[in-house]
């Protein structure tokens, strides 16, 4: 008997990294790796499920920065170049490893993956956003939006105009890509601040997610814990909270799946392991060794000794882990059903890039999970939030608590020694942007262009990714650079607009560099 | 409107403070969340792999201004226990106070006055309570340990004169910190008995004790040995002080007439335009017999050369 619902949420996001001014830019690889290792494998899973007529529901964020990069022609061309090189390398690897015991099938496995990545990429006219759109149009995927540039909203609360701009720019960008309005939003870093739900309501968003304590510490106490939606007091926007039990199974060090010894070892990449002259054409032109994505070993154990990866074993494990996940969710749902007297909804959100990039077998696990849910049992059902809400329209009204899914559950990841300096600059720019939008209502022409670009620069500076990287304390140069570049470009535009002396040449240059959100309207920043 | 009732979570505790310790242990919860979120940090950081230094030739040498020439004081919530504030005061403001206070100014302390303004409309004088933090003159930001979650706060930057007079220079915005546990307030329409809520609360956090799912998993009914003794999903590489790795590769290369067909160990090899070829193999221990065969374009002539290579690692 059907006893409860599982709402799987994959949060897909990468910061906007696009440097037309360089031939090769290391950080652009974040996108290329995620395409090959995460987005294409997920699309392949969805394609196989649809082909086999397996009904499923997945909720997926595609952040506006990610969509913008997926739809960008320059990055598309560069990805093709990137994947072609990987294909060349995989061919060489097939030959090189011919005598190595245990390695025989691995280069072919990668070669096939790279070839199918290229094939998938080309089949969707080099724009994978269209692939995800297809599955949304088929009713299988519920694509939700996110902050325009993934700005961490709780630390923007003193500049609500910026919160509004993050939300509204995202919503209109979504509409221009998916030809419908988004119904839900993934608040960047799951960062909720009471009151921001009214801004979501203005943008006609009907639901968002928080971490467990966002609802559990809500006021008044939520009767169904995290296992039913609540409506935010004042706005009526629905809020659903993460179930940590199911999160834990996927990424905890004690109980999590991805660390299983049969799974592929993330840290042994031939970009670091192989002889320098041989690998040089496939790493960074400056000679910096980087991950290529070709990794031959399984986790093996706790030591440094690693055994070759055996795909068949890993596949069996992924199937077993999917079965285990379902078994536990069935127990959980059955227990909650009796306990609550209604069908619970278990919300399990994950970073999409966990699947494939970090946890190589993740997409396979997801496929097994969905197939098993469809074919092997009838206690659990996959569901989207709008479906659940139309079945259960009556829910408790509470004020969720400020929270995030980051380290320690609040704002510390983005507000600590190494990154707190950014807020005085970000807030100053936000206030100046508000002033500009007020002083120059409905301006077109050159000034209008400068105002729109000013908002682009502000939004780009606000990406939580820069604060996050600064907070981790390693390889921070790029994050500092991006924060400074966008803020400096913003202040210069501000001064030029105020002085009425806009340098068109320079404006065109930064419009070309930071070309995100072509349809942006600066007047949303109010 | 639902009636509001105050209840404690598990036992009827005497005070809020005492009961916080008794209820679903916030500490334990924090630990759990902390372990989990550290892993999430590691995983998210994995998205930004090899974010190493980049050649930044044209990288702007301009720096951000240290001040914007305005008066501002912003207060933000870091978590239920800590606030963060930054401020900027115009030089002219200090000058004004210097000229008014003369000697006194230099003896005065630079103070953050932190007001608890919960449930009131704060007018500067009616705070529930306040406490002072002395800050250095060159400080422009501060983390404030507020000690009690779920309250509203406002902060003044000011100077405290030796006679106890406090002069406000700047006043921050008001913020509200989140509570650090479940709410004490329930509504009648959506009542839930305390013990039931306590169980739900634990389940939501995946504490396992109250959840059958967690129990089954922990007992290892169907867990794999790999998981029970798992490396760690953050897959941290073990620290090692000194290490050495040696691998061998073998390069087989040669040349024949352009247009000839060449196989190495029965597998065809593509020739460069000038008839040369190069192959590279990872060379494991043991004997490799490597017949290289060439057949002329007109298939009339054949040649075979067979290098034999032994690798032995001692």
Domain ranges in chain A are 4-408, 415-524
Label residue B48 by pLDDT band (50, 70, 90).
confident
pLDDT of B60 > 80? The answer is: no
> What is the mean pLDDT of the segment spanning B135-142?
95
Mean pLDDT computed over B231-237: 39
Q: Is A72 a catalytic residue?
A: no
CB contact under 8 A, A212 and B205: yes
Query: CB B76 to CB A155 under 8 A?
Result: yes
Q: In what helix (H) or strand (E) does residue B106 lie, and over which residues does it extend? A: helix B103-107
Put simply, whether A408 touches B (Cβ < 8 Å) is yes
Give DSSP secondary structure letters for A348-367.
EEEEGGGBTTTBTTHHHHHH
Chain A residues touching residue B89 (CB < 8 angstroms) = none
CA nearest A258 in B: which residue?
Answer: B233
**Residues on chain B touching A514 (C-beta within 8 angstroms):** none
Task: Determine the pLDDT at residue A254.
Answer: 61
Task: Look at residue B193 in the predicted model and tell me its pLDDT.
Answer: 86
Supply A170's token pair.
């995202």
Topology, domain A415-524? immunoglobulin/albumin-binding domain-like (1.20.1430)
Q: Is 80 exceeded by the pLDDT of residue A77? A: yes
Angle at A149 between CA A502 and CA A9, to 5 degrees: 165
Confidence (pLDDT) at A286: 85
Q: Evaluate whether A374 touches A195 at the Cβ level (below 8 Å).
A: no
Q: Does A53 touch chain B (CB under 8 A)?
A: no
Q: Which residues of B touch A246 (CB under 8 A)?
A: 206
In this structure, what token pair is assigned to residue A503?
């340098």
Mean pLDDT of B57-76: 84
Cα–Cα dist B111/B137, whole Å: 9
* Homologous superfamily of domain range A4-408: Glycoside hydrolase 38, N terminal domain (3.20.110.10)
| Residues near B55 by beta carbon (within 8 Å), at least 6 away in sequence | A286
User: What is the pLDDT averaged over residues A343-370?
Assistant: 96
Binning pLDDT at 50, 70 and 90, where does residue B228 land?
very low
Please give the pLDDT value at position B218.
30
**Backbone φ, ψ for residue B128 (5° rounding):** -60, -40
| Cα of B267 vs its chain's centroid, Å | 50
Confidence at residue A373, expressed as pLDDT on a 0 to 100 scale: 97
- Residue A446 CA to residue A451 CA, distance in Å, equals 9
Specify the pLDDT at position A253: 59
pLDDT of residue A298: 96
Q: How would you classify the pairing of strands A397-398 and A230-232?
A: parallel
Strands (E) across A124-219 are located at 141-146, 184-186, 207-210
- Mean pLDDT, to the nearest integer, of A238-254? 85
Whether residue A231 lies within 8 A of chain B, CB to CB, comes out as: no
Give residues with Cβ within 8 angstroms of B189, minimum separation 6.
A396, B2
Q: Is there a common fold for A4-408 and A415-524?
A: no
- Chain A, residues 409-448, CB within 8 A of chain B, namely 409-413, 415, 420-421, 423-425, 427-428
On chain B, the residues whose CB falls within 8 A of the CB of A336 are 203
pLDDT (mean) for B238-264: 88
- pLDDT band, very low/low/confident/very high, at B29 (cuts 50, 70, 90): low
Exactly one of A161, A189, A211, A457 is catalytic; name it: A189
Instruction: Tell if the CB–CB gap between A332 and B203 is shorter than 8 Å.
Output: yes
Q: B57 at the A interface (CB within 8 A)? A: no
- What number of C-beta contacts closer than 8 Å exist between A and B? 324
Do A101 and B284 lie within an 8 Å CB cutoff?
yes
Q: Which residues pair with A219 in a beta bridge?
A: A399
Of A381-390, B18-27, B126-135, which range is least confident? B18-27
Question: What pLDDT digit, counting tens, does each position of A366-418 carry?
Answer: 999 999 999 999 999 999 999 999 999 999 999 999 999 998 999 999 999 99
A506 touches B: beta carbon within 8 Å: no
With an 8 Å Cβ cutoff, is A256 touching chain B?
Answer: yes
Q: What share of chain B is helix, strand, coil (3-state, %, to 5)?
A: 25, 30, 45
Whether residues B79 and A408 touch (CB distance < 8 A) is answered with yes
ipTM: 0.94
pLDDT beyond 70 at B84: yes
Among candidates A95, A405, A468 on the partner chain, residue whose Cβ is nearest the Cβ of B279:
A95
- A163 pLDDT exceeds 90? yes
A407 or A466: whose pLDDT is higher? Answer: A466
Residue in B with minimal Cα distance to A219: B183
pLDDT, position A130: 97
Residue A33 bears catalytic tag: no
Question: Residue A6 in contact with residue A380, Cβ under 8 Å?
Answer: yes
Is the minimum CB–CB distance between A23 and chain B shorter than 8 Å? no
Distance of alpha carbon B22 from alpha carbon B32, whole angstroms: 17
Sketch out chain B's domains with CATH numbers: 72-176 (2.60.40.10), 249-311 (2.60.40.10)
Chain B CB within 8 Å of residue A349 CB: no
**Mutation for testing the B interface, residue in A36, A222, A341 having most B CBs under 10 Å:** A222
The pLDDT value given to residue B189: 87
Which of 132-151 (B) contact A at CB < 8 A? 140-141
Distance between A145 CA and the closest CA of chain B, angstroms = 19
Inter-chain touch B48–A30, beta carbons under 8 Å: yes
- The pTM (predicted TM-score) of the whole model is 0.90
Model confidence band, residue B204 (pLDDT cutoffs 50, 70, 90): confident
**Closest partner residue to A302 among B76, B186, B231, by Cβ?**
B231
For residue A415, give the nearest of B64, B76, B240 by CB distance: B76
Question: Residue A67's pLDDT is what?
Answer: 98
Evaluate the omega torsion of the peptide bond into residue A220 and state whether it is cis, within 30 degrees of 0.
yes
């Amino acid at each position: 008997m059907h006893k409860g619902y599982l709402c799987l949420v994959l949060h897909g996001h990468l910061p906007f990294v696009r440097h037309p001014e360089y031939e090769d830019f290391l950080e652009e690889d974040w996108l290329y790796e995620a395409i090959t290792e995460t987005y294409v494998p997920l699309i392949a899973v969805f394609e196989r499920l649809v082909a086999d007529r397996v009904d499923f529901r997945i909720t997926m964020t595609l952040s506006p920065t990610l969509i913008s990069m997926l739809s960008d022609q320059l990055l598309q061309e560069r990805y093709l170049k990137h994947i072609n090189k990987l294909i060349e390398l995989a061919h060489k690897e097939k030959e090189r490893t011919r005598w190595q015991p245990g390695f025989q099938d691995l280069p072919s496995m990668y070669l096939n993956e790279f070839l199918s990545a290229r094939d998938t990429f080309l089949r969707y006219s080099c724009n994978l956003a269209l692939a995800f759109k297809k599955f949304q149009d088929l009713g299988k995927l519920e694509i939700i939006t996110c902050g325009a540039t993934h700005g961490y909203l709780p630390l923007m609360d003193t500049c609500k105009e910026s919160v509004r701009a993050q939300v509204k720019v995202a919503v209109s960008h979504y509409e221009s890509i998916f030809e419908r309005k988004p119904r839900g939003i993934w608040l960047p870093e799951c960062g909720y601040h009471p009151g921001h739900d009214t801004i979501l309501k203005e943008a006609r968003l009907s639901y968002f997610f928080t971490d467990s304590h966002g609802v559990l510490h809500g006021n008044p106490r939520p009767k169904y814990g995290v296992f039913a939606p609540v409506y935010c007091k004042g706005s009526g926007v629905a809020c659903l909270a993460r179930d940590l039990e199911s999160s834990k199974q996927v990424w905890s060090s004690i109980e999590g799946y991805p660390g299983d010894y049969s799974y592929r070892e993330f840290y042994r990449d031939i970009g670091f392991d192989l002889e320098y002259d041989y690998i040089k054409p496939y790493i960074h032109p400056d000679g910096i060794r980087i991950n290529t994505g070709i990794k031959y070993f399984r986790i093996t154990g706790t030591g440094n000794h690693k055994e070759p990866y055996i795909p068949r074993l890993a596949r069996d494990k992924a199937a077993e882990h999917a079965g285990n996940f379902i078994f536990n969710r069935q127990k959980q749902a059955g227990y909650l059903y009796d306990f609550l007297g209604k069908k619970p909804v278990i919300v399990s959100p994950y970073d999409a890039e966990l699947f494939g990039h970090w946890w190589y077998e993740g997409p396979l696990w997801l496929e097994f999970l969905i197939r098993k849910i469809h074919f092997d049992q009838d206690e659990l059902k996959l569901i989207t939030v709008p479906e659940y809400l139309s079945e259960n329209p009556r829910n408790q009204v509470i004020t969720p608590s400020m929270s995030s899914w980051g380290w320690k559950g609040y704002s510390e990841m983005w507000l600590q020694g190494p990154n707190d300096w950014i807020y005085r600059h970000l807030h100053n720019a936000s206030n100046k942007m508000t002033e500009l939008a007020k002083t120059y209502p409905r301006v077109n022409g050159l000034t209008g262009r400068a105002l729109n670009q000013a908002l682009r620069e502000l939004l780009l500076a606000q990406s939580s990714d820069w604060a996050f990287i600064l907070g981790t304390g390693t390889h921070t140069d790029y994050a500092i650079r991006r924060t400074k570049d966008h803020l400096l470009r913003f202040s210069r535009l501000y001064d030029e607009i105020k002085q009425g002396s806009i340098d068109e040449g320079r404006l065109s240059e930064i419009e070309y560099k930071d070309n995100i959100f072509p349809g942006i309207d600066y007047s949303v920043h109010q | 409107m639902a009636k509001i009732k105050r209840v404690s979570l598990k036992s009827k505790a005497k005070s809020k403070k005492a009961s916080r310790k008794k209820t679903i242990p916030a500490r334990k919860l924090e630990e759990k969340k902390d372990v989990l979120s550290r892993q999430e940090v590691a995983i998210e950081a994995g998205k930004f792999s090899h974010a190493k230094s980049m050649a930044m030739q044209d990288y702007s040498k301009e720096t951000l201004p240290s001040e914007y020439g305005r008066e501002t004081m912003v207060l933000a919530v870091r978590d239920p226990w800590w606030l963060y504030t930054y401020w900027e005061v115009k030089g002219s403001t200090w000058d004004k106070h210097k000229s008014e206070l003369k000697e006194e100014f230099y003896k005065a302390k630079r103070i953050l006055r932190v007001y608890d303004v919960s449930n009131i409309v704060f007018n500067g004088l009616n705070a529930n309570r306040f406490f002072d933090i002395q800050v250095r003159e060159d400080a422009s930001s501060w983390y404030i340990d507020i000690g009690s979650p779920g309250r509203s706060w406002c902060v003044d930057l000011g100077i405290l004169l030796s006679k106890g007079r406090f002069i406000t220079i700047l006043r921050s915005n008001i913020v509200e910190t989140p509570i650090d546990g479940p709410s004490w307030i329930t509504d009648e329409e959506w009542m839930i008995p305390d013990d039931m809520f306590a169980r739900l609360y634990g389940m939501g956090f995946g504490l396992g004790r109250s959840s059958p799912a967690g129990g089954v998993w922990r007992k290892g009914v169907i867990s794999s040995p790999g998981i029970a003794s798992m490396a760690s999903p953050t897959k941290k590489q073990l620290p090692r002080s000194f290490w050495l790795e040696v691998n061998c590769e073998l390069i087989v290369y040669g040349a024949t007439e352009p247009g000839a067909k060449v196989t190495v160990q029965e597998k065809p090899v593509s020739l460069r335009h000038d008839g040369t070829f190069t192959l590279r193999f990872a060379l494991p221990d043991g004997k490799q017999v490597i017949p290289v065969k060439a057949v002329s374009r007109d298939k009339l002539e054949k040649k075979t050369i067979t290098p034999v290579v032994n690798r032995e690692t001692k």
